[in-house]
Amino acid sequence: MENNKALWIVMLVVLFIIGVEFIITRIKGIQRFRFQNTVVNLSMGIFDRIAGLLMLPFIYKYFEYLHTHFSLLDIPNGTIYFIIAVLFSDFLWYFYHMAGHRINLFWGAHIVHHQSEDYNYSVALNLTPFQVVVRVLVWSVMPIMGFSANVVLGTHLVIGLYQFLLHTSLIGKLGLFEEFMVTPSHHRVHHGSNEQYLDKNYGGIFIIWDRLFNTFEREEEEVSYGITKDINSRGFLTSVFHYYNNLLFQMKQLPSVQEKFLLFFKAPDWVPSSGALQLSNIYIEKGSYQYQKFSKTKIAYIVFSILFTLVLLSYTAFYLSELATFDTYLLSSIILFSIYIIGRLIENKKVLLLEIIKYLGIVYVFIIWNL
């Protein structure tokens, strides 16, 4: 319960850091926050967190079960052992992260994190929960080795917080730290779509893994952020599912069942023996997406919608242990419905009926249902 309530503090700190970065970039006259990209990043962050709240108890019980019934060693929970656990967890992160880029099935979930053409702290929130299943399977090795569920999840928290701090262009190179730690400079390279930056710097905390396995690249030329082919939408559903829709589109181009199956486990740049595959028409040339200009009224309403949804997320987290299962899933559904509507708002699609349904749901939950 207390861990869930801590989300209030974490959310405020994260939003504060994003706000400070936004103010600094405005003062310096640097373009790092385009409205639509930032709204998508925050929406994805809400999506990831609400799903995480629902999945975390099951993940904890799964790791605890493995540790109780299959652990090979009895590793204590001391500070030294936790540091060892973080080091090993970061080693796993390197290969998990590499798989997220080099296997189509996993890249379909991870690509969302790389879609923003801007680079700022809000990008760190641009995640989807679909990666969690793979992550849980990979990290199953740690409780089997003998690390407790608390330690395993604790290492995830450390890596996650460290990764958040890397997503900025305001921090330059950090001298000696560049040689053994992942720095903002290294991670800017990782987010680059420049040819020499593709599939580089997978490390979570330590850059030593990239040096050992020949995937290290220094930041030299200016980084071009985003994916190599942009998507012609900033809608929520498109942002989440476009790559999997594209894989289905490409499957139809493949003549054999074997190649159709292999497509999901090959790299994004795989060229089958039958010839190069075409992309679906959602993809456009990089840099050609037309960003909308909204009225001040609409901007204010979208910002209000984001903040209101964050409040709902925080409320759900704060009272999670006290809510009935039905109430939890009802609130979660309203939150997901809300970010879907926000995606339609930034795409200039009709939302009036959907907004009415959303607010009726909120009235039902907090007044009629009297949560």
Q: Which residue has the higher pLDDT, 194 or 52?
A: 194
Show me where the domains of the chain are located: 2-229, 234-283, 296-368
Strand partners, 181: 206
Q: What percent of the chain has pLDDT over 70?
A: 97
The mean per-residue pLDDT over the stretch 298-303 comes to 96
The pairing of beta strand 229-231 with beta strand 283-285: antiparallel
pLDDT tens for 22-74 read: 999 999 998 889 999 999 999 999 999 999 888 988 999 999 999 999 999 98
Reported as a pLDDT band with limits 50, 70 and 90, residue 177 is very high
- Residue 1: predicted pLDDT: 46
Reported as a pLDDT band with limits 50, 70 and 90, residue 147 is very high
The mean per-residue pLDDT over the stretch 325-330 comes to 88
pLDDT tens for 79-120 read: 999 999 999 999 999 999 999 999 999 999 999 999 999 999
Reported as a pLDDT band with limits 50, 70 and 90, residue 321 is confident
pLDDT tens for 276-285 read: 999 999 999 9
Mean residue pLDDT across the chain: 93
Q: Phi first, then psi: what are they for 250, rounded to 5°? A: -75, -30
- Residue 146: predicted pLDDT: 96
- Residue 325: predicted pLDDT: 85
Burial class (CB in 10 A: 0-12, 13-18, 19+), 309: buried
